[in-house]
């Protein structure tokens, strides 16, 4: 009976060790997924900001507030909203680089 109890206790310890390892692995993978998501977002933000800056005259001389105001004014226009709906719906006929 004692041997059986000892074997069960060893099995419990072995299983608990596996559980701790799996929990650590889950934490590691969750952290890795968050880091990848963060890197992806950072890349997207930098890419899109560079696109915006390429259309601004003398971007180094323009303040963040001026860019923000310009974007607010631009995106509140009905014509801009309609154009965005067309482009993002895949129905836009505008080509890249068109001004």
pLDDT in tens, 32-59: 999 999 999 999 999 999 999 999 999 9
Within-domain flag for 8: yes
Q: Specify the number of domains making up the chain.
A: 1
Provide the 3-class DSSP secondary structure of residue 57: coil
Within-domain flag for 37: yes
Within-domain flag for 6: yes
17 lies in which domain range?
Answer: 1-54+62-87
Q: Quickly count: other Cβ atoms within 10 Å of residue 26's Cβ.
A: 10
Q: pLDDT of 55-79, one tens digit each?
A: 999 999 999 999 999 999 999 999 9
Given this model, what pLDDT does residue 92 score? 47
Compute the distance between CA of residue 38 and CA of residue 34 in angstroms, rounded to an integer.
6
Q: How many helices (H) and strands (E) does the chain have?
A: 3, 0
Within-domain flag for 15: yes
Within-domain flag for 94: no
CA atoms within 13 A on the CB side of 12: 6
Share of the chain above pLDDT 90, in %: 83
Within-domain flag for 98: no
Within-domain flag for 48: yes
């Amino acid at each position: 009976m004692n041997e059986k109890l000892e074997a069960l206790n060893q099995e419990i310890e072995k299983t608990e060790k596996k559980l701790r390892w799996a929990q650590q692995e889950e934490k590691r993978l969750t952290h890795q997924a968050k880091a990848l998501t963060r890197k992806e977002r950072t890349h997207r933000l930098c890419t899109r900001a560079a696109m915006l800056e390429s259309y601004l005259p003398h971007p180094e001389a323009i303040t963040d507030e001026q860019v923000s105001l310009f974007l607010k004014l631009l995106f509140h226009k009905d014509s801009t909203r309609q154009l965005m709906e067309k482009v993002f719906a895949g129905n836009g006929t505008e080509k890249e680089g068109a001004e």
